[in-house]
Each structure stands twice: as C-alpha cells, then as structure tokens.
Amino acid sequence: MSNYEHIPVLLNEVLFYLRPKSGENFVDATFGGGSYTKAILENNKPDGKVLAVELDQDAIDNYQLTTKDLRLTLHHGNFAQIDKIVEHHKFNNISGIVADLGLSSYELEHRGISFATNQPLDMRFNQRGEHIDAKFVLNNYDAARLEKIFTQYGEEKFSKQIARKIQEARLKSQIHYTTDLYQVIVDALPKPVKHKADDSARRIFQALRIEVNHELYNLKEFLPKAFDLLNPGGRLAVVSFHSLEDRIVKQFFVSLTKGCVCPIDFPQCVCGKNPQGKILTKKLVSATEQELNKNPRSRPAKLRVIEKI
C-alpha cells in the first residue's frame, strides 16, 4: 500500500482549544494519518490515553506498520457510532473529542474523489464495507434522484441539466471513470459557462462523495453522541471543509448554548432548560497565511469548538 499521507490542518489551533494534559483521555474521531492523535499523546503522557476511530482500514494498516503506542486504541468504524465504540472499549473520563472532516491526500488520489486524475469512480471511505460506490449511483439512480443529490449536497445551479446528461450518456455506455463523468459535466453545461466546468465538477464530485458515504447523516449522528460523552469542562472540536458541514456544526453548537425556551409572556420558566455548552470559538478559526503556504488544501478549513458546562 502507498504511504497514507495526511497533512494535519489547524493542528496548533486544535491543541490550543483541547488543552491536553497529563493523564487526560481523548477521542480522535477521524484518525486519518494520525497527526492529531500523535500530538495529543505527546501532550497527555505519561498516562493519558487516546481512542482513535477510523473508517478507512488502509489508514489503520499504514499506521500500525510504523507505530506502536500502548496508550492508543485504534478502532475501525464509523464515528456516527461513537457512543457504541466508546462503550465497547470501556473508554471513560473523556476530556476532549476532535473530528477532522477533511480528506487525506491518499483518499484524494486513490478513490476517484477528484477529477484531477483518471481514477475509477469509487469514492467510498470504507473500501471493505458493503456500501454502494459512486459508479453505482451514476449508472442506476434516475435523473430526478441525481438532480436532488447534486442540488442538496453540491448546491449546483445546473443540477437538472447534468443529471439528464448523465442519464443520456449511460444509455450509450456506463460511466466508469472520473474523466467520463467530467466530460459529461462539460457536455451538460450551456456554452457561456463551459469555461467554468471545473467549478461545477467540484460541486458534483462533492455531492456524489457525500451521498456515497452518508457524510451529513453521519455528522448529525456523531455530534450529540460525542457531546454527551464528554466530562463537564470537556471540549468538542470539529474541523469542517464546506458550508453544509459547517452549518450543521454551527447550528448544533448554538442549540447547546440556549437556556429557557418558554414563551416570553410566561411569568416564570416551566421548561427547566439550561445551557449545556459554551462556544469557545466566537469567530471561525481558519488557517494562517503560514499554514496556507505550506498546505494550500487547508484554505477551506473551519474550526469550531464548544465546551461542556
């Protein structure tokens, strides 16, 4: 297997907000190349622990070939099941949880996620699972369903035209490769905007990837479970890379800060609702110019952090 490369994004900022200390336990919900985990283990030694969750078995295999640490527990699974994973490993007293929703360079280059290279249209994070791949979606979903995916997950203006062109193209031959799909997208666009085909392609490829991996559903499942697992004073940090993810994280965090929800004309509170969390990132945290120079892919990254009261 090729080296599973993943340059960490906003690593210093994540560490600043999580504040790992000796003896504290943390969960890295999206292990990837292990950069967050390594940094946390360096800061919570000698007896702090990390439970790391990763959906891509290739990432786990690559890390285990080179690194051993008795304070680390690696689990192959979906962070949407974080509660069951934590219970399975009897991993308690959690001071912080981090989730980086981005992609590794390995995934970008080997899964048909990017149209920059000619790859089979797979897009699955979990290669050993039973989930359908992008090729199946493109060659079997009807035009209306494809249009809905492209509109909801890609916010693509020409979703209808692209969906119809996909349906037409697959009558001649199946769409197998990233270059096949890219050409269909170009063909579908009106002449005045064909020069912006790359922008549409990015949105369509993103939408397919989200559909194949159920990314937004998994994120919505993960957030409340992760917050519930934290000790009082524990912190949940999420790094997102597009507006759909960030919107979900922002709305969830804001919901945790609200107290009484009784109508304003009630003489006294009857709901008994108190704020559960305090948002630590009043402004979105993004990459510095120094980080952008080293890693241009960090540009869309956004960090939000909440502390459990």
Domain boundaries, the chain: 11-103+215-308, 132-213
The rounded distance, in Å, linking the Cα atoms of 245 and 214 is: 12
* Alpha helix segments (H runs only) across the chain: 11-18, 35-43, 57-66, 82-88, 105-110, 134-140, 143-154, 159-172, 178-188, 197-213, 215-229, 243-257, 289-294
The first and second tokens of residue 196, run together, are 């912006």
Architecture of domain 11-103+215-308: 3-Layer(aba) Sandwich (3.40)
Residue 205, SS3 per DSSP = helix
What stretches in the chain show pLDDT beneath 70? 1-6, 65-66, 105-106, 110, 129-130
pLDDT score for 5: 60
Average pLDDT, the chain: 93
So what's the pLDDT on residue 69? 86
> Measured on CA atoms in the order 228, 230, 235, 237, is the torsion positive or negative?
negative
pLDDT at 1: 46
- Residue 135 backbone dihedrals phi, psi, to 5 degrees: -60, -40
**132-213 has CATH 3.40.50.10490 classification:** no
